[in-house]
Amino acid sequence: MSQPVTDFGEDATPYEKYVRADVLTHLQHPLTDDPGEMAFLVTTQVMELWFTVLVHEWRTAADALRGDRLGDALAALGRSVAETRALNASWEPLARLTPREFNAYRPALGDGSGFQSAMYRRLEFLLGEKSASMLVPHRGTARAHAELSKALGEPSLYDEALAYLHRHGEPMPREVLGRDPAQRYEPHPAVAAAWRRIYARAPEGGDLLRLGEALTEVAELVWRWRNDHLAATRRAMGGKTGTGGSPGVAWLEKRASRWVFPELWSARGDV
């Protein structure tokens, strides 16, 4: 029976070279003596990694739709569903914090806030939540600012989905197809009508229905993410001003009220 290789001489293990575990497990530098701060740091860093994966998946899906490769797009969206569920589960270590427990290390954040996450902002841009003002916090980080500037001007995942519908039997008006991709997506009655027609043909809606359902599942999980964030924040700090001077719960409530891919939800009531 063969034995696993354990001696790699003076070289790092192949696992370490591939995963970079030594880098990942030494990125935590708590600024207080509170034992809960480590969990907060690791959880936040894990969220950033999931943001990175989701940006990759949704860009993959958008590129596939642009190339009329629906199967590839659906595969990427399907993977992202499982990954978003894992992201949402990341709230669990923080969701039970009492205000006293959170306040024990909250001062270490200073002016820091998840609102300032560049990767999360790229994720939001892919969902159609565009805003040039969101580039301002990243002017001091050249790579992040350049990546966000590029993402701001690119079509969102939903833009590519609507263009796909247009090419495959559901015509979209010029103002939808030719809209400025750097602007926040706003609902359009023609888009809602197209989704109504697709869903009215169920189960014969075919590929377009499959795309609609895949996007709906993504949208629902994003809504759950926002509400889990809201609940965890409300539990830990109530109505206090958020870190970084953000409105805290009030701002999160506003975000939670916005549905991603809005016509996929409004159209359902008329089918």
Binding residues for substrate: 106, 243
What Cα–Cα distance (Å) separates residue 147 from each residue in 48, 119, 134? 16, 9, 12
Other beta carbons within 10 angstroms of residue 196's beta carbon come to 17
CB 112 within 8 A of CB 68: no
**Token digits for 128?**
């159609």
CB 110 within 8 A of CB 80: no
Q: Work out the end-to-end distance of the chain between its first and last CA atoms, rounded to an integer number of angstroms.
A: 63
Q: Which spans in the chain are helix H?
A: 14-19, 21-24, 36-66, 70-89, 92-95, 99-103, 118-126, 142-152, 157-167, 174-177, 189-200, 206-237, 249-256, 263-266
CB 176 within 8 A of CB 188: yes
Binding residues: 106, 229, 243
Return the closest-CA partner of residue 221 out of 57, 26, 11.
Answer: 57
Return the closest-CA partner of residue 199 out of 190, 184, 210, 188.
Answer: 210
Phi first, then psi: what are they for 104, rounded to 5°?
-65, -30
Other beta carbons within 10 angstroms of residue 271's beta carbon come to 12
Binding residues for heme: 229
